[in-house]
Structure formats: C-alpha cells, structure tokens
A and B are shown apart, each in its own frame.
Chain A
Amino acid sequence: MKTKNNTHKVNISESEIISFDLYYITSVKKKEIPREELKVEMDRYYGKGMIGDFYKNNSNIFHDK
C-alpha cells in the first residue's frame, strides 16, 4: 500500500463492516512539548489562557548577548 504519508498504520483486520478509510489511521511518534506550565487559569476566560508569549517586548533595558 503506497501512500504519501510515511507514518505507520494501525493493524486492522479486513472485514466487510470496516470502512476503507479506517485502514488509514496513521500514527506518528511525537515528543511532548512542555507547555502545560504555560496554560494558566484566568478569570477572564472562565478557563485557561496562555502566558509567556506576546508579539512584542515591553521595554528593552537589559541586553545580554
């Protein structure tokens, strides 16, 4: 079976009750990016929001190369 996606599939046996696309469940090995600590409870959102990231700086006063 040739597909453009270089991922391994789940082993599903052939059956007339399983639709064709289900043979193409793909899986990739990934590494968790430790972002959980950036998700923080915020009143405004009745849930979580992201911290630590914004499109600009505040004021550049220190400059360590």
Chain B
Amino acid sequence: MEEEKGATGSINLSLNGKEEEINLSGQVHHLPCCIKFNGPCTVSQYFKPKLKGMQIDGLAVEEAHFRGRKLQGTTISLPNGYAGFVLAKNNSGKRKACDVSEGNSNDWEMKAKFDKLTYWNHDTPPSKDDPFLRSFHWFTVVEALHKQVKPEDLATIDADQ
C-alpha cells in the first residue's frame, strides 16, 4: 500500500449537529486484563457492578465478576480540566471518489463523552497506591512542565543565585 508522506488527521470534538451529547459517565470500565476484541458488546446485560458499601482511602469499593474472576474497583472522577472522549473514525459524510478509502481515513469524530470512569483490580481492593490512580499525578507534572515561563520567574531564579 502506498503511504502518503506526512499524513494529517483531525479530531472533531464538536457535536456536529447531532441532537444530544452522549454521556457515558459511569459506564466506562478499565479492566485488569486484555480482551482481544474491539467492537460493540452487550456490556450492561452481563457486567453488573455492585457497591460493597465499604470505603478504602475514601474510595467507594465496587465488586463485579468477569470470566469467573472477582474484580474490585472504584468509580473516580477525571481530574479537573480533563475529559474523556470516545472517538471513532469519521466515515460518514463527504468522501471524494479518489480519496482515501475508509480504513485509511484519519479523521476522528467524538461519539461520546465521559467525566467518570471505573477502574478494576483483580482480587485486590482499590487503594490510593494503585498505579492507575497514581498515573493522575502525572497531570500535575505536565502542567508544571508546560507552564509558560515569564521573565519575572527567570528574574527570581537569578536573584536566588
């Protein structure tokens, strides 16, 4: 297959004239396993998380089963200023006859949005020490790294030295 050099893509996060935004908050699950499948599935009919009425590190523990394994997890809100999106390749709408075929299209469209997600551990209850939760610390680092450095900041550093 021929590949175009410097291919570009786009992500469209607007509603695109759709009636209403689909909010998947509370229906997004992060499992401690790799499911070798991509596509739609009747999740809500089979996956039935239950609140255990117990808290660890201030996290409300939930319990569910998947493929016979006991999962314990918790629902968390995404950090302030962040949002979750479900993207899909844009294959509706105008496509020029000779243009890239469906598979090559690099235009993404927002299908749904979420601001909460549930992550699950196999056997172990959720805690503040879970790598998944700790990965959120990175956001703070990123913010600091990308913050615009103002001349005053530099001046204070100079002064310190």
Binding partners A and B = no
